[in-house]
Each structure stands twice: as C-alpha cells, then as structure tokens.
Amino acid sequence: MAACAAVLAVVSSSTLAFAADDSVAGQKVFAVRCASCHGTTVGEKKIGPTVAGVFGHESGGVADFRYSPALKSAHLTWDNATLDKWLQNPSGLVRGTTMFVNVPGSADRQNLIAYLRTLSAGANAAAAPTR
C-alpha cells in the first residue's frame, strides 16, 4: 500500500512538471529572455521596471520608473489575460510602448506568468504601497 502511494505521488508530480503554469520553468525563461531588462526585487531598476509585485497591479505602477507615455496612460491591470497579450505582442496591446520583446510560445508565456505570480505574493506582503 505504501509503495502504491509512492508510485502515485511520483506519477502526479511528473504530470505537474509538464503542465502549463509551471513557475520553475517560467523562472528559467525569465532568466534567458527578461532578466537583462527586469529585476525581480522591489526597487531594482534596469532598462525596464522591476517586475516584483507586477501581477495584480496596474500597469505603469513602479513609482520611480520613467515609463513611455503609452504605458503610463494604459491603465491595465496585469492579470493572466493582459500579461498573456502583452507577452505575445506588447505594442499590439499598448501602442507606443518601448518594450519590444515578445514570447511566441503559449506554454512559455503561461509559465512566465506563473513565475510573475510568485514574485507578487512576496512583494505584496513586503512592500505593497511602494509599487
């Protein structure tokens, strides 16, 4: 019986590893495609604004980052749907934005968004008002 449960556990965890919304896989995509321009801690400034706390917040919300007028006035809330569109084609969602990077693969986008969600949980708890 114990052996049976162990086998079940292995099977279900390996299924999870291949499912969409894999934040660990998303973190790897982020390291390759996003980290050159985006920090992941509150207040970290690169070419782009930090993405700490970005999930669930309004676009253009990092106080001391100079956004394009387009993103500054877009008033989007970054959730699964808006981030998916953004990552597929930033200027298609916000015409005039200065971010030109896109992620063509749907699974990559879902994993990235899952990773961004993990950054919001901590950032919101630590420094919600400053974002």
Q: Which stretch binds ligand HEC (CB under 6 A): 2-10, 15-23, 60-68, 119-127?
A: 60-68
51 binds ligand HEC (CB under 6 A): yes
**Contact predicate 22/14, CB 8 Å:** no
Q: Which stretch binds ligand HEC (CB under 6 A): 6-14, 16-24, 58-66, 118-126?
A: 58-66
85 binds ligand HEC (CB under 6 A): no
Those residues with Cβ within 8 angstroms of residue 102's Cβ, 6 or more apart along the chain or in another chain: 87, 88, 89, 90
Candidate list 23, 41, 80, 98; residue touching ligand HEC; CB under 6 A? 98
112 binds ligand HEC (CB under 6 A): yes
Q: Based on C-alpha coordinates, what's the Rg of the chain?
A: 17
123 binds ligand HEC (CB under 6 A): no
For the stretch 27-32, contacts whose Cβ atoms lie closer than 8 Å and that sit 24 or more positions apart, written own/partner, are: 27/115, 29/103, 29/108, 29/111, 29/112, 29/115, 30/112, 30/115
Give the interface with ligand HEC as residue ranges (CB under 6 A).
33-34, 36-38, 47-49, 51, 54, 59-62, 67-68, 70-71, 78, 86-87, 97-99, 101, 103, 112
